[in-house]
Amino acid sequence: MKHFFKYIIIPLSIFLFTATSPIPEYRPFGGMIFQKNLSSYNLYAEFEIIDNPKGGFYHNNRLCFEKNDVIVLHHSFWVRIAEENNFDRNTADPNNYFKKIQIYDADTGTLLQEFFAGDILFTMASGSIEYNNAVFNLVFTDLLLSGGN
């Protein structure tokens, strides 16, 4: 009886459970955003986001970064599989959601740098938007904050 349960009932119940699982209706697009402060400043950042951000993109309007801080955000866009071919993959690019980003020295309140729509600050480091495993980086360095690349 013990062998019957181990070799017949358990595999049969696993098969029935997986066979009755619903077919997925949606496919995720997007990934993670790593915002890193590698500068010599403690930073305060104000993000002005476009008026109508789409689906899975959410971002705080204000963030504080101490030296060497990393803030991770997730953004996922769930698209019906039937509509997947019509989905604009650029929707999952975080560069498309900002009007302006202002970076201040958090200790003194001095404006260090301003970035505007069209500036490419978020770079894809790895993965793919199409499988919801894209990794975008926004890295604040002294060079970037002084106007360099």
Helix, strand, or coil (residue 113):
strand
Q: Dihedral of CA 86/87/88/89: which sign?
A: negative
Provide block-wise average pLDDT over 10 residues at a time, the chain (149 residues). 60 64 76 92 91 73 91 85 82 85 94 91 87 88 82
What does the pLDDT read at residue 90? 79
Q: Give dist(CA 149, CA 140) in Å, integer.
A: 10
Look at residue 125 and give its three-state secondary structure.
strand
Q: Are the beta carbons of 140 and 122 closer than 8 angstroms?
A: no
